[in-house]
Amino acid sequence: MKARFNGKCVECNESIKKGKEIVKNSKGVWVHKHCSDVEEELP
């Protein structure tokens, strides 16, 4: 989903800007889509 507010990605330690695509990782923490350790869509 798209971030509704600014935050911080715990994986890369960079900011998550409002409107960026984010996903929950295996710990239930919001991270950048490309930083997640969970595969969103399996083939």
Two structure tokens written together for 29: 């923490």
Q: Is 35 helix (H, G, I), strand (E, B) or coil?
A: helix
* Rounded least distance, CB 3 to Zn ion, Å: 11
36 interacts with Zn ion by CB under 5 A: no
- Dihedral, CA atoms, 34, 35, 41, 43, nearest 10 degrees? 80
Q: How far apart are the first and last CA of the chain?
A: 20
Complex with Zn ion: residue 39 or 43, whichever CB lies closer: 39
* Count of residues near Zn ion by CB under 5 A: 5
Q: Which of 1, 6, 12, 19 binds Zn ion (CB under 5 A)?
A: 12
Where along the sequence are the contacts to Zn ion (CB under 5 A)? Answer: 9, 11-12, 32, 35
